[in-house]
Amino acid sequence: MSMATTPTTPADLTPFEVPGPVTRVPSLDELRRLTEIPDRRVVYRNVDWAFYEQLVDSIPEGSNIHVDYDGKDLEVMPNGPRHERLKGLLGDFVKVVAAALGIPCESMSRTTWERPKIARGVEADDCFYFLPEKLVQSAAASERDSDDLADYPDPDLAIEVDISRPAVDRAGIYSALKVTEIWRFEGGQVVIERLTPAGTYAAVESSGFLPVQAVEVRRWVIELATSDRTAWMERLRAEMKKKARRLARAARRRGAAK
């Protein structure tokens, strides 16, 4: 299962496949040597869940190494500066818009979603809860200061920045987790995709969680972004508050027309 479109991968970012059969999990030093090139994906084919778990557990907390596992193949990638900047802008966009419009949401940042029951694991660039029942469940786990991933539901919205071409079935991972919506940056564009009843993802014009279109997200993240992130967020907040007032007026007119 593939997402709607696929980014072009520069020649120097072509995925590096580790020759198999892979008999052991690489050491951290070996992994760091393999991931010296930012945004180049390193792929291990036909590995099992135990391999994935051991590899993830061997990577120190806060490391810049990103790992995804689709039930068969495993991908490791170090994130470069451009990737991190775009990821931050998209995540801030969601948080500012939700706050300005009074839409409850919670960021789970770069949580690694390891789900042994479905033998899938993914680390989104950012991810969010929007559904009330998930917000309640997450809040309850947080109040208990739980660090057990089983206490937290899977996210509703995930953000992915693709500087290079994915080498595993990442859409299949998100589908197995039943993540409703994915925002992807690729090739200078922002694509919003929604999960279909068939379990695939299809591109849509607008988000189902926030009243924004993909072209609007791109304008703010690509065309209007500046080095002054605080000023950018203030302009975005002001614009969204105007939108909130427009939406409220439209709702009142619809109510009066009934």
93, 85 Cβ separation under 8 angstroms: no
Q: Which CATH architecture has domain 80-257?
A: Alpha-Beta Complex (3.90)
d(CA 180, CA 252): 30
CA count, 13 A, side-chain hemisphere, 126: 22
d(CA 148, CA 151): 6
Q: What is the pLDDT of residues 95-121, one digit of tens each?
A: 999 999 999 999 999 999 999 999 999
Closest CA to 161 of 80, 215, 105: 80
pLDDT of residue 64: 85
d(CA 114, CA 154): 10
Instruction: Read off the pLDDT of each residue in 137-146 and give the average, rounded to a whole number.
Output: 97
pLDDT at position 227 over 50: yes
pLDDT at position 26 over 50: yes
CA distances from 185 to 4, 11, 203, 226 (A): 12, 19, 13, 17
Q: Mean pLDDT score of the chain, rounded to an integer?
A: 92
Can you give the pTM of this predicted structure? 0.90
pLDDT class for 37, splitting at 50, 70, 90? very high
d(CA 201, CA 2): 8
pLDDT at position 163 over 60: yes
pLDDT class for 20, splitting at 50, 70, 90? confident
pLDDT at position 9 over 90: no
pLDDT of residue 5: 45
- Top pLDDT among 7 and 94 is at 94
Domain locations in the chain as residue ranges: 80-257
Q: Which residues does 56 contact at the CB level (< 8 Å), separation at least 6? A: 67, 112, 114, 121
pLDDT at position 223 over 60: yes
